[in-house]
């Protein structure tokens, strides 16, 4: 480490953050730890994730989260580590960018994220990272070197983002050219056109896809909690559809860790939440069966809504979620701002923080689902009947009325609170 840069060795994460949370390769991680130590590397991991979260908030990159955000986090973390190493040893020979910060480019291209949004994300990420470095420098650098060190941080990060922007642009354009000339891209483009109702010759589209668009379809989206091999996702989608009786399938990749799929099923088919065949870390959202081209679109839109709900949910998601099983929550959560206002107004103090209020809300929700049967609610919650009775009575005291009054609005508010947690229980922070 160069003289005067010892303050970098005192970097440490603000919260719980270990090396096991890193998205970078083991080789990259081991090299960084050997040169910087565990604390600074964990700081870089934390800052990489914070930067990715800021980008997601400021720049609408993805349709859905999950693996796409993980790809972004991996690139942000790698960029943070790369900048940290260059600051620690400015005289050493480092590649201008490195491979890992650019590793998400194929995912962005395949998802259809336009270049201008990618570049906007880089600008937002640079600003976020610069703030973090400068705050740390101000706190940790020796007073007599503070001005020099802050200038070094600014110079290094500006040089890095300039080089990163140039490299990102060139790599993106090269990948875009390769992708748009591939057969996979043609299939994805055709599917997007069908969903947008811009296809003129539907029969020609069906021949190109090798899939009959006139039958009864069920739409499925399969995704992974972290980026996964495309072949694994595609085979999982086909297995699920086949077990549901599909006689033909169409599967298209739409980014790292995510595929869209359709299956042709019998008209009288009834979907089932069959989780067998789902590998570890995989999830599936399933629309309801529908016929013809309109049905092809509708069942897919339902699967998209389920995927969005699962991305917002604070509960542990089942491996397979059917639209029909969550349709009420999906509809209630369509406008999150309005949903939050409704939940807080309906629940009042019952929507408060803490485990006690959470237990009362969960119990009351199960009580309603059990058609106000104390016995059935107790069985679902694995507690005594008297415990349910006490909690229901206590919930009534908190909300100040009988739970039978305005029963459906109360049930709807509890359903949203259970699924979305603080997203609807706590008001959004003021922007003023």
Domain of 395: which CATH number?
Answer: 1.10.10.2840
* Residue-level pLDDT at 277: 62
- Kindly state whether residues 293 and 320 are assigned to the same domain: yes
Cross-strand bridge partners of residue 253? 259
d(CA 75, CA 77): 5
CA neighbor of 23 nearest in space, from 144, 104, 127: 104
125 with 230, same domain: the answer is: no
Q: What is the DSSP letter of 321?
A: E
The answer to whether 109 and 172 are in contact (CB under 8 A) is yes
Q: Which domain holds residue 339?
A: 333-425
Same domain, 303 and 363: no
Spatial contact of 77 and 41, defined as CB atoms under 8 Å apart: no
> Domain check: are 136 and 242 in the same one?
no
Q: How far apart are the first and last CA of the chain?
A: 43
In DSSP terms, which residues pair with 260 in a beta bridge?
221, 252
Is 181 exposed, middle or buried, given 0-12, 13-18 or 19+ CB atoms closer than 10 A?
A: exposed
Cα 248 to chain centroid, rounded: 30
Residue 57: per-residue pLDDT: 83
Cβ-contact 310, 285 below 8 angstroms:
yes
Residue-level length of the chain: 432
Round to whole Å and give the CA distance between 418 and 46. 28
CA dihedral 53, 55, 58, 64 (to 10 degrees): -70
Contact 301, 308 (CB under 8 A): no
Residue 225 belongs to a domain: yes
Of 313, 331, 349, which one is at a domain's C-terminal end?
331
Question: Does residue 191 form part of some domain?
Answer: no
Give the model's pLDDT for residue 412.
Answer: 94
How many Å is the Cα radius of gyration of the chain? 25
Here the CATH number for the domain that contains residue 88 is 1.10.490
Residue 195 within a domain: no
Decide if 189 is inside a domain. no
Q: 308: how many CB neighbours lie within 10 A of its CB?
A: 17
Domains in the chain: how many in total? 3
In a domain, 31, yes or no: yes
Per-position b or e across 62-100, b if 16+ CB within 10 A of its CB: bebbbbbbbbbbbbbbbbbbbbbbbbbbeeeeeeebbeb
Same domain, 325 and 272: yes
Please indicate, yes or no, whether residues 240 and 150 belong to a single structural domain of this protein. Answer: no
CA dihedral 156, 158, 160, 161 (to 10 degrees): 160
| The pLDDT of residue 431 | 43
- Among the three residues 284, 312, 331, which one is the final residue of a domain in this structure? 331
3-state secondary structure (DSSP) of residue 262: strand
pTM: 0.64
pLDDT for position 112: 76
Local confidence pLDDT in tens for the 432 residues of the chain = 667 788 888 888 888 888 888 878 888 888 888 888 898 889 988 988 888 888 888 887 655 455 567 778 888 888 888 888 888 877 666 555 566 767 778 888 877 788 888 888 888 888 988 999 899 999 888 888 889 889 988 888 888 888 888 888 888 888 888 877 777 788 888 999 999 988 778 999 998 898 999 999 999 999 987 766 777 888 888 888 888 888 899 999 887 688 999 999 887 766 666 666 677 788 999 999 999 999 999 999 999 999 999 988 888 778 899 999 999 999 999 999 999 999 999 999 999 988 999 999 999 999 999 999 999 999 999 999 999 999 999 999 999 888 888 889 999 999 999 999 999 998 866 544
Q: Is residue 187 part of a domain?
A: no
At residue 295, the pLDDT reads 95
Same domain, yes or no: 298 and 375: no
- The Cα–Cα gap between 345 and 342 comes to 5
317 and 283 housed in the same domain:
yes
- pLDDT at position 94 is 59
Q: What is the pLDDT of residue 66?
A: 55
Same domain assignment for residues 174 and 223:
no
Count, in order, helices (H) and strands (E) of the chain: 17, 6
User: Strand, coil or helix: what is 34?
Assistant: helix
Q: Is 377 in contact with 367 (CB distance < 8 Å)? A: yes
φ/ψ of residue 217, rounded to 5: -110, 150
Is 56 inside any structural domain? yes
Query: 305 forms bridges with which residues in the sheet?
Result: none
Task: Say if residue 313 is in the same domain as residue 269.
Answer: yes
> Do 276 and 381 share a domain, yes or no?
no
Query: Of 311, 331, 351, at which residue does a domain stop?
Result: 331
Q: What is the CATH number of the domain that holds 221?
A: 3.30.70
In this structure, the answer to whether residues 258 and 390 fall within a common structural domain is no
* Inside any domain, residue 25: yes
Q: Is 203 exposed, middle or buried (0-12, 13-18, 19+ CB in 10 A)?
A: exposed
Angle among Cα 34, 37, 42 to the nearest 5 degrees reads 120
């Amino acid at each position: 480490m160069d003289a005067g840069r010892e303050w970098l060795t005192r970097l440490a994460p603000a919260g719980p953050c270990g090396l096991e949370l890193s998205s970078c390769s083991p080789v990259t991680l081991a090299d960084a730890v050997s040169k910087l130590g565990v604390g600074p590397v964990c700081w870089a991991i934390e800052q990489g994730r914070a930067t990715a979260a800021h980008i997601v908030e400021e720049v609408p990159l993805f349709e859905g989260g999950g693996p796409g955000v993980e790809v972004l986090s991996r690139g942000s973390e790698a960029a943070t580590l790369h900048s940290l190493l260059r600051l620690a040893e400015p005289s050493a020979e480092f590649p201008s960018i490195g491979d890992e910060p650019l590793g998400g480019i194929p995912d962005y291209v395949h998802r259809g994220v336009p270049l201008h949004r990618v570049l906007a994300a880089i600008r937002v990420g640079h600003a976020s990272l610069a703030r973090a470095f400068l705050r740390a420098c101000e706190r940790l650098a020796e007073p007599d070197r503070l001005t020099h060190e802050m200038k070094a941080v600014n110079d290094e990060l500006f040089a890095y983002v300039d080089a990163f922007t140039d490299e990102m642009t060139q790599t993106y354009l090269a990948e875009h050219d390769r992708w748009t000339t591939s057969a996979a891209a043609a299939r994805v483009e055709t599917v997007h056109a069908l969903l947008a109702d811009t296809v003129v010759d539907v029969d020609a589209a069906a021949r190109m896809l090798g899939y009959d668009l006139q039958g009864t379809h069920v739409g499925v989206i399969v995704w992974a909690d972290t980026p996964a091999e495309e072949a694994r996702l595609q085979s999982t989608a086909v297995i699920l559809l086949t077990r549901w009786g599909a006689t033909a399938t169409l599967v298209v990749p739409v980014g790292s860790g995510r595929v869209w799929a359709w299956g042709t099923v019998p008209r009288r088919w009834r979907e089932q939440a069959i989780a067998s065949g789902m590998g570890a870390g995989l999830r599936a959202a399933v629309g309801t069966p529908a016929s013809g081209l309109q049905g092809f679109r509708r069942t897919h839109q339902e699967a998209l809504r389920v995927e969005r709900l699962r991305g917002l949910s604070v509960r542990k998601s089942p491996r397979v979620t059917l639209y029909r099983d969550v349709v009420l929550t999906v509809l209630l959560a369509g406008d999150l701002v309005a949903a939050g206002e409704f939940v807080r107004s309906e629940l009042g103090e019952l929507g408060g923080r803490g485990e006690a209020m959470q237990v009362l809300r969960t119990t009351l929700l199960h009580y309603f689902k059990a058609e106000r049967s104390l016995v059935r609610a107790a069985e679902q919650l694995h507690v005594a009947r008297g415990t349910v009775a006490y909690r229901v009575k206590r919930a009534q005291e908190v909300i100040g009325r009988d739970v039978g009054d305005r029963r459906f609005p109360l049930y709807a508010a509890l359903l949203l609170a259970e699924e979305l947690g603080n997203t609807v229980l706590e008001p959004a922070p003021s922007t003023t």
